[in-house]
A and B are shown apart, each in its own frame.
Chain A
């Protein structure tokens, strides 16, 4: 069965960076986009971008250009998101979610979420 296992909660200082991971299993990692989605406390959902692990292609929400960097390691079936120059506005739960087959983009499989807290 498809599973996405994310790394644990992070407490980081303003101005620093953090890299969170999403280890995939139960399907061919290189055949599906991996998306990242942000959820601030009490707030809704915001799409950050996707990476296609098969060739490393990425697509970002313009709002997150320069903030988020998506990478993937085919050898370990793990996707990563690095967030840089962190501020309190980056405090949120971040989800990875597998894309749909073909050209559709809905999210049937999600990681459990990684809480990032930015605080001095």
Chain B
């Protein structure tokens, strides 16, 4: 099973700042990493899929990079509406596994 280690567990940022979240995997997963945003009481929303592909309708402020075992998710110019919990998920091998999440709070 591929373990996904996500950091940090929480972030407190000011509007307009840059957010960076890291996910490291215990096995090489090529670029099979996906990123989700979950707001309180809602299902997760897919932001970026395999190959660092921004999903339709997702602002270009969101991006990701990485290959192999090290991945980074970035939000440029963070807005109040970006508050929530962000998860990474590897889709290279079963069982699919998620990071523990990063809670983003805006000051």
Contacts and interface: CB of A to CB of B under 8 A. Distances in A.
Given A44-B100, A106-B34, A113-B43, A100 B49 contact: yes
Contacts of A97: 43
Interface string A44-73: 111100000000000101110000000000
Interface string A78-92: 000000000000000
Interface residues of B, number: 21
Interface residues of A, number: 21
B91 A62 contact: no
A106 B98 contact: no
A105 B98 contact: no
**B interface secondary structure, majority:** loop
B59 interface: no
Contact of A106 (B43, B89, B94, B99): B89
Contacts of A111: 43
Given A100-B49, A108-B49, A108-B55, A44 B94 contact: no
**A61, A106, A112, A113 interface centre (most CB from chain B within 10 Å):** A106
B81 interface: no
**A61, A100, A107, A112 interface centre (most CB from chain B within 10 Å):** A107
Interface of A: 35, 44-47, 59, 61-63, 95, 97, 100, 104-108, 110-113
